[in-house]
Amino acid sequence: MAEAKSVYPFNAFNFEIQIAVSGLGGTMLCNGQFSECDGLEMTMDVKTIREGGNNVSQVRLLGAVNYGTVTLKRGMTANSLDLWDWFDAQQLAVPSQLRKDFRGEATIVLKTPDRSKERVKWVLRKCLLTKLKAPALNAAAGIVAIEELQLTYQSMTIERGGGIDA
């Protein structure tokens, strides 16, 4: 008798974020941990066409794909101000420079529960950092130094990792 294969669901708590921007030296700006990640979404527009004389059916055509805005909350990154520098570089850039130099690539990696393998990666291309929020400064609270950041992106791909069945 064949042995039953164990199937484990994806655990949403084991993920990490990697962000690189070519215009800022191409090095990793952020290789951090956040407690929340929301906005990994794709929505496809649907165009409806009605044929003349056909009152009982319609033709549905696929349209453009729209992407969400990724929001990362309560994060920890290396001891640097790289994310703040990226935001500053974007706001001071001329439009032609912004189009090519200051768009980043972000990778969100979901890991297995023991963090030994990558289950899946979401690769966000041509990202812009559109919101960066520091937490309230309160000496009594021992909270981390990035409260929230938002990334808008032009495209997203999903890659299988080694910790997922093909």
25 within some domain: yes
Domain containing 49 equals: 15-160
99 within some domain: yes
* Cα separation, 30 vs 82, whole angstroms: 7
Cα distances from 114 to residues 2, 27, 108, 124, 157, in angstroms, run 27, 27, 17, 25, 25
Tens-place pLDDT, residues 11-45: 556 888 889 888 877 677 877 778 889 999 999 99
Identify which has the larger pLDDT, 76 or 158.
Answer: 158
Please report which confidence band the pLDDT of residue 107 belongs to, taking 50, 70 and 90 as the band edges.
very high
User: What is the pLDDT at residue 117?
Assistant: 86
Q: Reply yes or no on whether the pLDDT at 112 is more than 80.
A: yes
83 within some domain: yes
Total count of residues recorded for the chain: 166
61 within some domain: yes
9 within some domain: no
Q: Reply yes or no on whether the pLDDT at 65 is more than 90.
A: yes
Please report which confidence band the pLDDT of residue 3 belongs to, taking 50, 70 and 90 as the band edges.
low
4 within some domain: no
Q: Are 101 and 94 in contact (CB under 8 A)?
A: no
165 within some domain: no
Identify which has the larger pLDDT, 3 or 103.
Answer: 103
Identify which has the larger pLDDT, 95 or 87.
Answer: 87
Provide Rg for the chain, Cα atoms: 20
Q: Reply yes or no on whether the pLDDT at 166 is more than 50.
A: no
Identify which has the larger pLDDT, 112 or 154.
Answer: 154
CATH code for position 103:
2.30.110
Query: Could you give the number of structural domains in the chain?
Result: 1
